[in-house]
Chain A
Amino acid sequence: MPFEVQKMPDPASTSTHPTAAARATIRDPIAVAQQKQINAAKLRKFADKVATWLMPALTIAAFLLIWEVISNAFPGGLPAPSMVLLESQELIFNPFYDRGGVDKGLFWHVMTSLSRVGIGFGLAAIAGVLLGAFIGTVDLARKGLDPIFQVFRTVPPLAWLPISLAALREAEPSALFVIFITSIWPIVINTAVGVRNIPQDYLNVAKVLRLHPVEFFFQIMLPAATPHIFTGLRIGVGMSWLAIVASEMLLGGVGIGFFIWDQYNSSRMSDIIVALMWVGMVGFILDRLVAMIGQYVSRGTTAD
């Protein structure tokens, strides 16, 4: 990246104090060489950091530009970015407005959807870890249940909706159930793998100490399986976000999924594009959040 190199001149080669440089050379050529090396490393690090932030900005800009050009070339189709900015001004710049009913800013729609994910995914996490620990320890249970789980886990979220509506008869619990049933499988399966892979050494320690099952669960099993559990949770939270947006489209009311459907019915494409960005950003943040918590909680578990 030549433009960055120009920004940060190499202090060793372009020093404005020849006397100082000369003195240093005389005194200790090794120190000068080391300094050069340090400066070069610093420059590399700085360039790398700039690239990390600059490159995504460049790709986004390029993407928007291409979109703008194509949309203008074929008018009447997808609105161009400039058009979105113009048409959905309020939606973009004021996510907090609330005029009652479903006429709310995107923040409130997202919060409603998130609270559903919070409940559904929270229940799935608790039930999934317990069930995973169970089939991870009891081999007969694993043999009996694993084939069923492997089939259920491939059922798409929306396919669960009719069944849950028929069984639960109301929209809200049905939405929660869809999230629950979609996100629980990766949690169960990963937890079971983690539990089955607890090193024999830890099991021996537990045996010698004669830990009883509850102590074993909290002191050994949970911490040892934490990295696997969080892999499952991370996949699960992503799937529950997919599930909620889809199921809200059918269920109606407040929520980002229904918002998108509603705007589609009134042909407001710009609003949908803004909502899509919210969905993407929130999904991204959810994923990172779970990953970060996982990293914090499982610090040390992999260290040997």
Chain B
Amino acid sequence: MQKPILSLENIYVDFERDGVISHVLDNVSLSVKAGEFISIIGHSGCGKSTLLNVVAGLVPVTMGAALLENKEITGPGPERAVVFQNHSLLPWMTVYENVKLAVNKLYGHTESMKKVHERVMNNLDLVKMTHAKDKRPGEISGGMKQRVGIARALSMEPKVLLLDEPFGALDALTRGHLQDTVMELHDRIKATVLMITHDVDEAVLLADRVVMMSNGPKATIGKIVDVTSPRPRVRRELYDDRSFMSCRQEIVSFLEEHDRVVKFEPVPA
């Protein structure tokens, strides 16, 4: 059994707002092996974004610990690069400059200009965006922006890549293309990935394991399902794949079951 690269140990997260404490995460434990692709799925407001932000270091834990390679995560850092839902590219920089900002920060002190340039171009090439390198984010489509966001995250050569509903704002066709890109990248660079999604098919298609979260407040991991379908996976063949369909069925029934007990209490996103 491989040693986990990332482990979440009994994590509790509470938020305080106007004197009211809401318990968002309640005793969440999970260990992730190197190279593993984990999808986290759950209803809106169940705290899956909070969980990802804990790993990113953007949200502090109330109790418990998140460990990356046995070191406690205490703040954000490039070894846990995030692809944000709304791309978060800096609009005053070109596509090239957005990626270069990350590369420069991490390698600018030790590597030559030429090497930095190569790194930027390589990462843009991985997501097939070299043709638009001089465009600004305002001039490219939503799918393209998200590609650049992925390139920027990859350029940090993270130990864990965190995807926060990366395709949530995209139309179905673009979404499919980007899912293929992410699958291909995962196969090529053997990245460890944590992805949040609320799309069942997406969760199963990309993941080695799908983590299902119960509803908040006091959300925790309800169930984990292994996706055993062999890689590389092809979207249109998956509906004929028995193990894919059974995973899908399991997740859908989990979500439906929990849909009935949604409590309408204010929970910070």
Judging by beta carbons under 8 Å apart, are B77 and A210 in contact? yes
Contact with B along A132-153 (1 / 0, CB 8 A): 0000000000000000000000
Is B154 at the interface (CB under 8 A from chain A)? no
B:53-101 near A, CB below 8 Å: 56-58, 75-78, 80-82, 84, 86, 88, 90-92, 101
Judging by beta carbons under 8 Å apart, are A303 and B136 in contact? yes
Judging by beta carbons under 8 Å apart, are B90 and A209 in contact? no
Main secondary structure of the interface of B (DSSP, over half): loop
Chain A interface residue number, banded = 20 to 34
Judging by beta carbons under 8 Å apart, are B76 and A210 in contact? yes
Name the distance in Å between A202's Cβ and chain B's nearest Cβ: 6
Name the distance in Å between A182's Cβ and chain B's nearest Cβ: 30
| Chain A residues engaging chain B, CB cutoff 8 angstroms | 201-202, 204-205, 207-211, 215, 219-220, 223-224, 226, 298, 300-304
Considering the complex, give the chain A residue whose CB is closest to the CB of B81.
A208
Chain A hits for B80, CB < 8 A: 208
CA distance A226 to B93 in the complex (A): 13
Judging by beta carbons under 8 Å apart, are A208 and B77 in contact? yes
Chain B hits for A301, CB < 8 A: 91-92
CA distance A304 to B106 in the complex (A): 26
Known: A201-B86, A205-B84. 10 other contacts (CB 8 A): A201-B84, A204-B76, A205-B90, A207-B57, A207-B75, A208-B82, A223-B92, A226-B92, A298-B92, A303-B137
The listed residue (B76, B86, B137, B156) touching A207 by CB distance below 8 A is B76
Residue among B75, B80, B105, B156 with max Cβ neighbours from chain A (10 Å): B105
Chain B hits for A207, CB < 8 A: 57-58, 75-76
Judging by beta carbons under 8 Å apart, are B58 and A204 in contact? yes
CA distance A202 to B58 in the complex (A): 13
Is B102 at the interface (CB under 8 A from chain A)? yes
Judging by beta carbons under 8 Å apart, are B78 and A209 in contact? yes
Is B168 at the interface (CB under 8 A from chain A)? no
Main secondary structure of the interface of A (DSSP, over half): helix
Considering the complex, give the chain B residue whose CB is closest to the CB of A301.
B92
Name the distance in Å between A198's Cβ and chain B's nearest Cβ: 11
Judging by beta carbons under 8 Å apart, are B88 and A205 in contact? yes
The 28 sampled A-B contact pairs (Cβ below 8 Å) are: A201-B88, A204-B82, A204-B88, A205-B84, A205-B90, A207-B75, A207-B76, A208-B56, A208-B58, A208-B77, A208-B80, A208-B81, A208-B156, A209-B105, A209-B106, A209-B156, A210-B78, A210-B105, A215-B105, A223-B92, A226-B92, A298-B92, A300-B92, A301-B92, A302-B91, A303-B136, A303-B137, A303-B139
Chain B hits for A224, CB < 8 A: 90, 92
CA distance A209 to B58 in the complex (A): 12
Contact with A along B25-62 (1 / 0, CB 8 A): 00000000000000000000000000000001110000
Interface size on B, residues (CB 8 A): 25
Chain B hits for A205, CB < 8 A: 84, 88, 90
Name the distance in Å between A210's Cβ and chain B's nearest Cβ: 6
Name the distance in Å between A300's Cβ and chain B's nearest Cβ: 5
Considering the complex, give the chain A residue whose CB is closest to the CB of B138.
A303
Name the distance in Å between B135's Cβ and chain A's nearest Cβ: 10
Name the distance in Å between A190's Cβ and chain B's nearest Cβ: 18
Chain B hits for A210, CB < 8 A: 76-78, 105
Chain A hits for B58, CB < 8 A: 204, 207-208
Name the distance in Å between A228's Cβ and chain B's nearest Cβ: 14
Chain A hits for B86, CB < 8 A: 201
Chain B hits for A223, CB < 8 A: 90, 92
Considering the complex, give the chain B residue whose CB is closest to the CB of A207.
B76
Which 6 pairs, one residue from A and one from B, show the smallest C-beta to C-beta distance? A303-B138, A201-B88, A207-B76, A223-B92, A208-B76, A300-B92
Chain B hits for A211, CB < 8 A: 105
CA distance A205 to B73 in the complex (A): 17
Considering the complex, give the chain B residue whose CB is closest to the CB of A297.
B92
